[in-house]
């Protein structure tokens, strides 16, 4: 308890205009560049023998196409109020409690913890997150209209102690810029 180091907990999200993150249970868009970026940031570690963890809500887990889940090279944790406190099942940890999951991950060789969605879990994580990594998805006006969205990033309130990085990705140019 007293010699527990504060873990890095990073919210990672991709934002459409109007804070949109989802549509009809899935992502509102399909951008190979962003998918590659997501895989790279959530998988990469500095320390050999360590991996990162990705924590997601039960609905997000279910909407990930089967061929992509569990996310390879990362410890997958799925949260649901109907799950046990923290328990391995098949290819992932199930947990009912975000704080408990984060504490339990500290007993494993985990470098960073990424909160990957969706809306409910982002809301729950706002006061826990130490970092934000937000992809701002641009739609190139005339040609491309923003897609419909029905799920939103809840409240991106200002936390001075939290570091925020923004990456911009636009289609159809497929060029990513880090700012």
Check if the beta carbon of residue 121 is closer than 8 Å to that of residue 98. yes
Q: Examine residue 171 and tell whether it contacts ligand QLZ (CB under 6 A).
A: no
As measured in angstroms, the least distance from the Cβ of 147 to ligand QLZ is 14
CB proximity list for 158: less than 8 A, separation 6 or greater: none
Give the range of 57-65, 86-94, 96-104, 170-178 binding ligand QLZ by CB under 6 A: 57-65
What count of other Cβ atoms lies within 10 Å of the Cβ of residue 138? Answer: 16
Check if the beta carbon of residue 9 is closer than 8 Å to that of residue 115. yes
Pick from 9, 27, 98, 119 the residue near ligand QLZ by CB under 6 A. 27
Q: Examine residue 16 and tell whether it contacts ligand QLZ (CB under 6 A).
A: no
Q: Examine residue 28 and tell whether it contacts ligand QLZ (CB under 6 A).
A: no
Give the range of 1-9, 62-70, 83-91, 102-110 binding ligand QLZ by CB under 6 A: 62-70
| β-strand partners of 136 | 15, 168
Pick from 55, 135, 149, 151 the residue near ligand QLZ by CB under 6 A. 135
DSSP structure string for 16-74: BGGGEEEBTTB-S---HHHHHHHHHHHH--SSTT-EEEEEEEHHHHHHS-GGG-SPTTS
Check if the beta carbon of residue 170 is closer than 8 Å to that of residue 140. yes
Q: Which of 1, 15, 27, 108 is catalytic?
A: 27
As measured in angstroms, the least distance from the Cβ of 13 to ligand QLZ is 5
Pick from 13, 102, 119, 129 the residue near ligand QLZ by CB under 6 A. 13
Residue 27 is among the residues annotated as catalytic for this protein: yes
Q: What are the distances in angstroms from CA 94 to CA 24, 55, 108, 113? A: 24, 10, 15, 15
Q: Examine residue 55 and tell whether it contacts ligand QLZ (CB under 6 A).
A: no
Question: Would you please indicate which residues are annotated as catalytic (active-site) residues?
Answer: 27, 34
Residue ranges that bind ligand QLZ, judged by CB under 6 A: 12-14, 26-27, 34-35, 38, 60, 63-64, 68, 116-117, 135
């Amino acid at each position: 308890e007293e010699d527990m180091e504060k873990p890095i907990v990073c919210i990672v999200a991709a934002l459409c205009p109007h804070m949109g993150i989802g549509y009809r249970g899935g992502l509102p868009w399909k951008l190979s560049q962003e998918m590659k970026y997501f895989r790279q940031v959530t998988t990469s570690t500095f320390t050999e023998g360590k991996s990162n963890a990705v924590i997601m809500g039960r609905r997000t887990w279910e909407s990930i196409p089967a061929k992509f889940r569990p996310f390879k090279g990362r410890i997958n944790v799925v949260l649901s109020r109907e799950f046990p406190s923290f328990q391995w099942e098949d290819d992932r940890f199930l947990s009912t409690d975000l704080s408990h999951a984060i504490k339990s991950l500290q007993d494993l060789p985990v470098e960073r913890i990424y909160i990957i969605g969706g809306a409910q879990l982002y809301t729950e994580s706002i006061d826990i997150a130490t970092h934000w990594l937000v992809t701002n998805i641009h739609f190139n006006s005339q040609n491309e209209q923003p897609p419909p969205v029905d799920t939103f990033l809840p409240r991106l309130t200002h936390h001075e102690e939290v570091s925020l990085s923004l990456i911009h990705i636009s289609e159809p140019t497929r060029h990513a810029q880090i700012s």
